[in-house]
Amino acid sequence: MTDLATALVALIEPHAGQAAAFNRWYERDHFYSAVMAGPGVIAGARWVATRAAKAARIGDGLFGDPDGASFLATYWLEPGGQALWDAWVPGRMAELAAQDRMFAGRDHVHTAVYRRAWAVEPGPPVEVALDRRYAGVIALAVDRRAQPDLAAVESWHRDLIAAVPALDVSVALLQDRFVMSALDRPVDDPDRHVLLLAFTDADPVALWRDEVRERALAFGAVGFGGPFLATVPGTDTYVDDL
């Protein structure tokens, strides 16, 4: 079985008036040409935060303006795949830029490589989570600058998933490094955190409000927390509600 080893996670905000154009460019070109076509990538999926999803967010601003980061992209890479992808992507980005395929009307709020830390899998294995077409994902970033007890974080994480059956698959990722800026150039990021991704068949906004959010608030060092809905490929669903 192919295992998840690392993940690419990107939080992106289109410029004002550019949401539909960004969505079409990213899903029809960039998603495939700049990431999925690269070596080592085994799966990818995109998610979006509506106004209601953003209004429910918590955290101390780890990822900046809570009204930003409308789109989330997640990609899984197999063991050994990250080094191959890292070697491939600079040349690929140069090719796309030369072909005028690097849509300027967006900002990378946060784009980083993560290492898999642990997974909780009462449902399908996490390796197939991005192909499963879940209704949404809840993202929770625990800021390591506050020196949280990572063993306690893992215990809380496992208890949370067991207590909320609607969350079928969950994975924790430890930040490795930033990989891109708004201009898709390597940048340095001094901050480190644990990112928890919990996938759900239920409405992630309702689930977050009703059950998961209060438990997250009770846990310290939360830099970011909030739900995202799965995008609907081939449509502009949600772009008028960001």
Give Cα separations from 75 to 40, 44, 47 (angstroms).
10, 4, 12
pLDDT(148) > 80? no
Residues 17-29: what's their mean pLDDT?
A: 98
* Single pTM value for the model: 0.94
Range in 6-15, 142-151, 180-189, 210-219 the model is least confident about: 180-189
Selection from 130, 134, 120 nearest residue 76 by Cα = 130
pLDDT(105) > 90? yes
Contacts of 91 (CB under 8 A, 6+ apart): none
pLDDT in tens, 46-87: 999 999 999 999 998 888 888 889 999 999 999 999 999 999
User: For a pLDDT cut of 90, what percent of the chain falls above it?
Assistant: 64
Selection from 196, 203, 204, 242 nearest residue 223 by Cα = 196
CA 27, 47, 60, 188 torsion-angle sign: negative
Q: What is the CATH number of domain 6-230?
A: 3.30.70.100
User: How many Cα neighbours within 13 Å face the side chain of 135?
Assistant: 12
Helix, strand, coil fractions of the chain, as percent rounded to 5: 30, 30, 35
pLDDT in tens, 151-184: 777 887 788 888 888 899 999 998 888 776 545 5
At residue 213, the pLDDT reads 87
Both tokens of 87, joined, read 């070697």
Q: In angstroms, rounded to a whole number, what is the distance separating the alpha carbons of residues 51 and 157? A: 26
Both tokens of 52, joined, read 């209601």
Contacts of 152 (CB under 8 A, 6+ apart): none
- Ranges of H-type helices in the chain: 19-25, 51-55, 81-98, 150-163, 204-207, 213-217
